[in-house]
Chains A and B, each alone.
Chain A
Amino acid sequence: MTVAVPHSAGTRAARVPARPGGTGARADRLRGALGALGLALAFETVPRTGLVPAEHLPPLSTVLAALAGRAGDAALWRTVGTTLGGWALGLLLAVVAAVVAGLVIGSVGVLRTATASTIDFLRPIPSVVFIPLVVLLFGADLGATLFLVGYACFWLVLIQVLYGVRDVDPVARDAARSAGLGPVAQVRHLVWPTVLPYAVTGLRLAASVALVLTVTAGLVIGSPGLGREIWLAQAGADIPGMYALILVTGILGIGVNALVRLAERRLLHWHVSVRREVTPR
């Protein structure tokens, strides 16, 4: 324990987990703020020094000014709303379909065996493959976004639900069966609580993928949303505007992650992983 090794003090201390509210956490937060400040400063000064041409990467102040200009315009907020709407609806459709399909397929052995290879084949197909077809079917519309988001997210959640169903404790299942629980009651009281943490993991993965595809649909197909606005700004040589919109997209991404974390805590407040996170030892 107390072996004196030259460079051990610094590195050893570095790995002691920070206690919330302790000095370690405060130093971390300070460094985090410092890092953010440094990043902002670099974003401001690098274009000014001419290291990167300012017409390619305008300084932060110019981007923020462009953002402020757009923030007063209702169009920006409508665009953000459209993006969030496409994201949420596509995600919702995928999650509902995947949970239902996963519960059915996972509970019936024959279905599980029969569909395994098909799922394995369809899952890694990137949904952007369908863009040409989607353009023909939906045009540059919300339907295009929903299709791309839905396809990609469905498999992510489905796989997790299938893992979850497989994880149901066989002893508990036998107990439920001998207690005379019907199939519906079994799903409600036994399978669902086991599956939920897995489904939420799938939801977390799917939430960020959904945003990626919502933006992609705008960029490539031109369906309404932030992606299209970014593309239009770029095409119109409004470079500060483009960066401003990208900044908004990034912030939206952070917000979406936070939202999903919140949902995770709400849905799984009874689960060990969340309880441990909320009340650390």
Chain B
Amino acid sequence: MTRPVRVTRPARLVRMPRPPRWAVRPLAALGLPALLVTVWWLASAGSTNPFYPPLRTVLDAFGRVWLSERFVLDVVPSLRRFALGLLLAVVLGVAAGLLIGSSRVLRTLLEPALAFFRALPSPVLVPVLLVVVGVGDAMKVAVIAFGCLWPVLLNTVDGVRGTDEVQLDTARVAGLSRLATFRHLVLPAASPQIAAGLRQALGIGLILMVISEMVVSTDGLGHAVVRFQRSFALPEMWSGMIFLGILGFLLAKALEVVERRVLAWHHGLRRATGARP
């Protein structure tokens, strides 16, 4: 092997004059998206293919469709159902998860049921709840709640099981009541795992929101997008897809911000103890 060997990296040793951080970061963050949008704009500019309307037309449609009363008619119902379903799932999932996680008997008894519902793809709930609950808001909320329940519940169970034994013993010796132990020890200890469950639930919930509206609905984002597709209003359809995409991104970001706030102590602790993320 006569390959030239480079042991040190000169770039690190020589201090190069660097542009300030704020000038580099936005460029890195916005460079590729700007490039992609430009390419999309230019490539579609003269498009006569109805499937791929010019981006300009799509953006026109975006303003016309989503910055109008459509927002109240389609976006608000969707978001209400999504929020309600997710809230139900979190309340039920965390409560049941705390209970199941802290009792071995209960956990082993429910193991087969939990394994089945974890493995069952939740979109099959749409036809089931369509039969049981009927067409309507309740069906969609139930689908979202039921689908989001399992990731929250199972992660809560795992989180509870991961509570530090020594701390549990200490709490007992210190004479903390069961409720106080839950409130001050088990729930905080399980919260990073619960947050992980919540992140999964958010993704599942969005999918369920969209498809339950696509299948049977008279309003909502999923319904609107499919309606545009069926009536061949393709720029509107594209604008709806962009809207849904932005919504998915914003919801994930919002959860991230909340998580960082609520679990600041946890991330700080991990950094301090040098644990790997």
Residues of A within 8 A of B (CB): 3, 5, 8, 11, 14-15, 27-28, 31-36, 38-39, 52, 56-57, 113-118, 121, 123-126, 128-133, 135-137, 174, 177-178, 180, 182, 208, 211-212, 214-216, 219-220, 227, 230-231, 233-234, 239, 242-243, 246, 249-250, 253-254, 256-257
Contact = CB atoms under 8 A, between A and B. Distances in A.
Interface residues of B, number: 68
Contacts of A38: 109
Nearest to A131: B214
A250 B203 contact: no
Nearest to B244: A129
A128 B131 contact: no
A243 B125 CA distance: 10
A219 B51 contact: no
B124 A230 contact: yes
Interface string B90-124: 00000000000011110011111101111111111
30 contacts: A5-B173, A14-B105, A15-B165, A15-B168, A27-B108, A28-B111, A33-B112, A39-B112, A39-B113, A114-B32, A116-B28, A117-B28, A117-B32, A123-B252, A124-B251, A126-B207, A128-B210, A129-B244, A130-B241, A131-B211, A131-B226, A133-B241, A136-B229, A174-B7, A177-B5, A180-B3, A212-B207, A215-B121, A250-B117, A253-B121
A132 B237 contact: yes
Contacts of A257: 118-119
B132 A57 contact: yes
A174 B7 CA distance: 7
Given A8-B172, A35-B111, A115-B32, A124 B203 contact: yes
Interface of B is mostly: helix
A249 B203 contact: no
Contacts, number: 179
Contacts of A239: 131
A182 B4 CA distance: 11
A253 to B, nearest CB: 3
Contacts of B130: 234
A262 to B, nearest CB: 15
